[in-house]
Amino acid sequence: METALTRLVGVRHPIVQTGMGWVAGPRLVSATANAGALGILASATMSVDRLREAVREVRSRTDAPFGVNLRADAADAGDRVRVIVEEGVRVASFALAPSPGLIAELKEAGVVVISTVGARRHAEKVAAWGADAVIVQGGEGGGHTGEVATTVLLPQVVDAVRIPVVAAGGFFDGRGLVAALAYGAAGVAMGTRFLLTSDSTVPDAVKARYLAATVRDVTVTTAVDGLPHRMLRTDLVESLENATRARALVQAVRRAAAFRKLSGLTWRRMLQDGRALKHGKDLTWSQVLLAANTPMLLRASMVDGRTDLGVMASGQVAGVIEDLPSCAELVERILAEAGEAVAALTATTATTTTTTS
């Protein structure tokens, strides 16, 4: 299935596996790439040296194109961009809008720049700055999310920009892919669906919690870091929502120290990232510090398997996913379902035309 996305990044199928922290590691990314989709390596939870190692590990497992996701506002973003360029990574993906200078540096090196957006004006901005494509995430998506549903946000962005648009938030099967293409998108991006594959390194006990969830078990909370965050509702989430500010702050300091040691960041760098996070958002410094909770709370679940101590970012689609296929099986299934959906639409159109004539 060829689209503007497949032509842009060189993959066979218009499907993207998003860069989920602690989840989108070398094994998942390479499995996705070998299945013909675009796998994106999550770098925000890695040190710069570990990022280079991870890129080389992916390269050892696949010859197919893949990408790296990074925070544009991170103090060491320039170092990470150099790794991407030096290691010949095909795609640089950003959760926040990269600066015009960063986009220019990457494009000059032949790297495709894709920025994730949650509003039409953000898409227009990064397109004007030179981004090659945008991923549009509606409110159904997991992790940090907005309030506008994909079915409303997607056509707005498609009409506003002249670069490939990838739809995210609420996609998990071939019918969704066909619907996104009908809206004018060039493909779909999925996080939770790829998390729930046999190639994902997320512990089995955590995957079981996702599979057992209903749509009503997925909630949006600001208790973790002060920003709207979609995740599975658990006893821990409820305790965070009910915790006093002082208690939450003490816990945040401890987890910030643990993340600093794990990531290799200095306190100075973490404070610089905190300032960048605070900029343009209605957050207090206490909330910025609470944001240091997020990497360690996610790691507790996604790496250590402690669903009692960690949070589980999740799209609403967790409530309708029931199995753990391999990435190859998943991509093959989505394409088959898409073909069936198109055939059904064609048959319906033909029947309607015959009847009316």
Output the CA–CA distances (angstroms, integers) from residue 233 to 209, 218, 294, in the order listed. Answer: 10, 6, 15
47 backbone dihedrals φ, ψ, rounded to 5°: -75, 165
Domains of the chain (ranges; CATH) run 4-201+325-345 (3.20.20.70), 205-316 (no CATH)
CA dist 138 and 169 (Å) reads: 5
Output the pLDDT for position 127.
Answer: 98
In DSSP terms, 133 is beta-bridged to 114
Q: Burial code of 308-327, b = ≥16 C-beta within 10 A, e = fewer?
A: eebbbbbbbbbbebeebbeb
Residue 151's closest CA among 182, 123, 121? 182
Output the pLDDT for position 107.
Answer: 97
Cβ(22)–Cβ(44) below 8 Å? no
Q: pLDDT truncated to tens, each residue of the chain (357 aa)?
A: 899 999 999 999 999 999 999 999 999 999 999 999 999 999 998 999 999 999 999 999 999 999 999 999 888 999 999 999 999 999 999 988 899 999 999 999 999 999 999 999 999 999 999 999 999 999 999 999 999 999 999 999 999 999 999 999 999 999 999 999 999 999 999 999 999 999 999 999 999 999 999 999 999 998 887 789 999 999 888 887 887 666 666 666 666 666 666 556 676 766 666 666 555 566 666 666 666 667 878 988 999 998 988 899 999 999 999 999 999 999 999 999 999 999 999 988 777 766 666
CA dist 117 and 129 (Å) reads: 14
How, if at all, do strands 91-94 and 165-168 pair? unpaired
Output the pLDDT for position 70.
Answer: 94
The pTM of this model reads 0.89
State how far Cα 355 lies from the chain centre: 45
**DSSP 8-state assignment for residue 52:** H
Output the pLDDT for position 351.
Answer: 73
Cβ(311)–Cβ(237) below 8 Å? yes
Output the pLDDT for position 223.
Answer: 84
Output the pLDDT for position 297.
Answer: 83
Q: How many Cα atoms occupy the beta-carbon half-sphere of 81 within 13 Å?
A: 24
Output the pLDDT for position 241.
Answer: 84
Output the pLDDT for position 38.
Answer: 98
Cβ(161)–Cβ(123) below 8 Å? yes
CA dist 245 and 289 (Å) reads: 11
- The tokens for 336 are 């088959």
Residue 83's closest CA among 57, 53, 61? 53
- The tokens for 200 are 């994902």
State how far Cα 70 lies from the chain centre: 11
